[in-house]
Amino acid sequence: MSTQQRFTQALLSAEQTFPAGLFCHPDAESRFAVYRNNVFSSLTSALADSYPVVAQLVGAEFFAFMARVFIQTFPPCSPVLVNYGNAFADFIDTFSPAASLPYLADMARLERLRVEAYHAADFPGVGFEALSRFLEYPEQLHSLHLKLHPGTGVLCSSRAVFSLWAAHQGQGELAEVDPNHAEHLLVLRDALNVEVLLLSKACALFIQALQGGAGFGDAVCAALEEDNAFDAGPALALLIQKNLIIHAGLSEAS
């Protein structure tokens, strides 16, 4: 094991002794402990910045405990801390001390989508006029492919994550939220503002299908399987209004 590997291993575990091969002024172990604490504190703060509602739901002490276990399991692999914590939601899913809050992992997924939307690259949206040349020919719709803005995120949750998140933004009373109510949401960036919108499940499935590369017709079919009264018009209007469609074209088969 290299000196660097020993250093990293000791840094991530309070039980590890001061790694051999390092040179320091007197009281090296105490100095190393201070450095270790600073590293964990910085990474915990980075996670709290990315997951503020998760932190509020569990409280500062529990969040620090959960973050410490996460940091030890998933140390950062990039110096860009805004990217740190991509695996936090999946980690929470398996973190047994958080099992009493079954909506916590999906709340983390929502907050990660907000971070990704905020930092996504800018792309101009395709307006209605550009799309109209496809929409006026119904026989083309099945072959129409719409590419969505990379900052677009959809979350289908079996829990009331939108209502819980909104209550922590001062929109509604937390005590009135039924956390076991399924909700489906769209995350997007409009200029510099990240928005979270509540969707029907059919609309969410429609947008998810488009994100996955499905043609317009197949995306509509996916939504109709959930709700046979689904109307693609309002969903498409929403995507256009929010500038979420960045490219439109027909598949080669057409």
Per residue in 147-185, pLDDT (tens digit) is: 999 999 999 999 999 999 999 999 989 989 999 999 999
Average pLDDT over every residue of 88-99: 98
The full length of the chain comes to 254
- Has this prediction a pTM greater than 0.85? yes
Residues 6+ apart with CB under 8 A from 214: 222
Residues of the chain with CATH 3.90.930: 123-254
**Residue 1: its pLDDT value, please?**
58
- What pLDDT score was predicted for residue 167? 97
For residue 26, pLDDT beyond 90: no
Q: Are 170 and 53 in contact (CB under 8 A)?
A: no
Secondary-structure class of domain 123-254 per CATH: alpha beta
Query: In the predicted model, what is the mean pLDDT of the chain?
Result: 91
